[in-house]
């Protein structure tokens, strides 16, 4: 089997090939390294790739398998992580100049779980600086390009994680989602991306953006692949005080169970103005599919949806201004060479180290938390967040799942929205409210535009009901497999 043929396989297929001894982990890993070397000069999904260590882990996996000590279904499968997730001995830059020379001294909890499962960890993936953006244009080390059209953005902030899977540079990856940063790039790159329930996956070792919103989640070609990866990284962690003590189901096998007819809600606020017609047409076909499969489709209302953008950008920026205060030029961050005193160290190091979007959000957040404005902005935003959560609770009394588009448009051209922050922020209009409510949501590819740009649909589930959400997503995905189509990158 050639390297091109190897990288087109799903994780499930690769796992079977390993178990049947038709391929070794070394051969699989080498194939993905070869693919990265072929295409990443154009895609720029990776910020760091240690090929020698990557292959060393693969050899160790092969040795385990030879001795009958395989650690699980994904033992020997390669993965790469968004560069905000700690891996001991590897760089962690958050795509920011201020962390350009930082090497992580410890593993994130998800990293440790991957290692315990034998997954081969081999690189750091590009993103919008500190996960602040919707296009991966804000990376201090250059943008990532969409494999389906190199003139277009891959989405963000986990643009490197989605583009790497779409370009067949890795079969699976991890990203983080604060307001849509997994689902939106998954939609724009034509892969599956999932944000679990807040508290389902430990945030220990994740460089924080907005702590009450951040959640680590998986990318893959199929819902099945994402299910297998989610099963590994989920579970309670005493190192994360927001981690929820809950048993982790066997997602990878449960999604194969017979799916009973369910009630799917279509929120009318998500199907109004601003949606591209080709996106609407593709999502309408998804609705028709579920209706034909015996599911009941009803219209529902989430009236606070229009408030989600201002609420999110108040809460997220406030938490970012607090979290990013630690990057002060004193400890592990880069320090300005032009500092003459302590105040200079803080001001100049942060001024030189942070990009424009990070500065903008820190300033907005500090303003909203300042004396005299806290009640008017931050406190009011938190109260409205409760109303948004109550809207979802009310709707979930009527339905099992909510279906929406993931993004109002397909991938857009570089520079098209970078000079208009509000327009960029609206790219996440369909994803932000689920972060505010802490709910699980998944983006599944559901078609292409006439110009062959991917389109994704979003399914939103009840808190901690990942099994049901993945099952209904899998029912569509296994019949269509849009995520298994490859962009024309040689």
- The residue from 82, 113, 221, 462 that is catalytic is 82
Any residues with CB less than 8 A from the CB of 163 and at least 6 apart, and which?
43, 45, 126, 136, 144, 145, 146, 147, 154, 169, 185, 189
204-220, pLDDT tens digit by residue?
999 999 999 999 999 99
13-43, pLDDT tens digit by residue?
999 999 999 999 999 999 999 999 999 999 9
pLDDT tier at 383, thresholds 50, 70, 90? very high
* Residue 447 pLDDT exceeds 90: yes
Structural contact between residues 114 and 205, judged by C-beta atoms closer than 8 angstroms: no
125-175, pLDDT tens digit by residue?
999 999 999 999 999 999 999 999 999 999 999 999 999 999 999 999 999
Tell me, what's the pLDDT at 44?
98
330-361, pLDDT tens digit by residue?
887 888 888 888 888 888 889 999 999 999 99
Tell me, what's the pLDDT at 21?
95
> Which of 398, 477, 447 is CA-nearest to residue 224?
477
To the nearest 10°, report the CA torsion of 129, 152, 191, 438: 40
- Encoded tokens for 458: 């979003």
Q: How far apart are CA 184 and CA 296, in angstroms?
A: 26
Q: How far apart are CA 360 and CA 194, in angstroms?
A: 28
58-93, pLDDT tens digit by residue?
999 999 999 999 999 999 999 999 999 999 999 999
407 is known as an active-site residue: no
Share of residues in the chain with pLDDT > 70 (%): 100
Among 24-38, 276-290, 292-306, 418-432, name the one with the lowest average pLDDT. Answer: 418-432
348 is known as an active-site residue: no
* Residue 421 pLDDT exceeds 80: no
- The residue from 12, 15, 134, 181 that is catalytic is 181
**What CATH class is the domain 3-265+398-484?**
alpha beta
* Residue 364 pLDDT exceeds 80: yes
Any residues with CB less than 8 A from the CB of 468 and at least 6 apart, and which?
262, 400, 401, 461, 462
Neighbours of 413 (CB within 10 A): 11
Residues recorded for the chain: 490
Q: Three-state SS string across the chain, please?
A: CCHHHHHCCCHHHHHHHHHCCCCCHHHHHHHHHHHHHHHHHHHCCEEECCHHHHHHHHHHHHHHHHCCCCCCCCCCCEEEEECCECCCCCECCCCCHHHCCCECCCCCHHHHHHHHCCCEEEEEECCCHHHCCCCCCCCCCCCCCECCECCECCCCCCHHHHHHHHCCCCCEEEEECCCCCCHHHHHHHCCEEEECCCCCECCCCECCCCCCCCCEEEEECCHHHHHHHHHHHECCCCCCCCCCCCCCCCHHHHCCCCCCCCEEEEEHHHCCCCCCHHHHHHHHHHHHHHHHCCCEEEEECCHHHHHHHHHHHHHHHHHHHHHHHHCCCCCCCCCCCCCCCHHHHHHHHHHHHCCHHHHHHHHHHHHHHCCCCCHHHHHHHHHHHHHHHHHHHHHCCCCCEEEEECCCCCCCECCCCCCCHHHHHHHHCCCHHHHHHCCCEEEEEEEECCCCCEEEEEEECCCCCHHHHHHHHHHHHHHHCHHHCCCCCC
* Residue 416 pLDDT exceeds 80: yes
Share of residues in the chain with pLDDT > 90 (%): 89
220-251, pLDDT tens digit by residue?
999 999 999 999 999 999 999 999 999 999 99
pLDDT tier at 276, thresholds 50, 70, 90? very high
Q: Token match 């199929």: residue?
A: 222
pLDDT tier at 490, thresholds 50, 70, 90? low
Q: Token match 């807040």: residue?
A: 198
Spell out the domain ranges in the chain. Answer: 3-265+398-484
Average pLDDT, the chain: 95
334 is known as an active-site residue: no
- The residue from 157, 187, 243, 321 that is catalytic is 157
């Amino acid at each position: 089997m050639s390297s091109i043929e190897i990288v087109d396989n799903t994780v499930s297929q690769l796992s079977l090939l390993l178990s049947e001894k038709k391929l070794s982990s070394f051969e699989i890993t080498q194939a993905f390294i070869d693919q990265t070397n072929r295409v990443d000069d154009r895609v720029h999904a990776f910020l760091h790739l240690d090929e020698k260590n990557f292959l060393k882990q693969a050899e160790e996996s092969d040795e385990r398998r030879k001795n009958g000590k395989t650690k699980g279904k994904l033992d020997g499968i390669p993965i790469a992580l968004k560069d905000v997730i700690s891996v001991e001995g590897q760089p962690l830059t958050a795509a920011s100049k201020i962390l350009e020379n930082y090497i992580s001294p410890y593993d994130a909890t998800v990293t440790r779980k991957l290692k315990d499962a034998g997954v081969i960890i081999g690189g750091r993936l590009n993103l919008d600086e500190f996960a602040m953006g919707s296009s991966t244009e804000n990376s201090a080390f250059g943008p990532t390009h969409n494999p389906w059209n190199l003139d277009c953005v891959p989405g963000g902030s986990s643009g490197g994680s989605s583009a790497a899977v779409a370009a067949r540079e890795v079969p699976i990856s991890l990203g983080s989602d604060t307001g849509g940063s997994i689902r939106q790039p998954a939609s724009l790159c034509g892969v599956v991306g999932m944000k679990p329930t807040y508290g389902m996956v430990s945030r220990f070792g994740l460089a924080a953006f907005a702590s009450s919103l951040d959640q680590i989640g998986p990318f893959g070609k199929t819902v099945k692949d994402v299910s297998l990866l989610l099963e590994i990284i989920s579970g309670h962690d005493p190192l994360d005080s927001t981690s929820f003590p809950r048993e982790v189901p066997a997602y990878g096998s449960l999604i194969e169970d017979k799916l009973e007819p369910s009630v799917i809600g279509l929120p009318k606020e998500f199907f109004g103005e601003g949606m591209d017609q080709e996106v609407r047409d593709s999502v309408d076909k998804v609705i028709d599919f579920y209706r034909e499969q015996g599911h009941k489709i009803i219209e529902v209302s989430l009236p606070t949806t229009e408030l989600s953008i201002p609420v999110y950008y108040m809460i997220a920026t406030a938490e970012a201004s607090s979290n990013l205060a630690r990057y002060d030029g004193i400890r592990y961050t880069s320090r300005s060479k032009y500092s003459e005193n302590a105040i200079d160290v803080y001001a100049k190091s942060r001024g030189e180290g942070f990009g424009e979007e990070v500065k903008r959000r820190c300033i907005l957040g500090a303003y909203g938390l300042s004396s005299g404005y806290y009640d008017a902005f931050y406190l009011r935003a938190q109260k409205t967040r409760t109303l948004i959560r109550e809207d979802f609770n009310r709707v979930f009394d009527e339905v099992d799942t909510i279906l929406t588009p993931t993004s109002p448009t397909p991938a857009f051209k570089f520079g098209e929205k970078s000079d208009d922050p509000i327009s960029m922020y609206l790219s996440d209009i369909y994803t932000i409210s689920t972060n505010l409510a802490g709910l699980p949501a998944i983006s599944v590819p559901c078609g292409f535009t006439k110009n062959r740009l991917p389109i994704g649909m979003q399914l939103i589930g009840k808190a901690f009901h990942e099994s049901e959400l993945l099952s209904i997503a899998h029912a569509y995905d296994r019949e269509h497999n849009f995520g298994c189509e490859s962009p024309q990158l040689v």
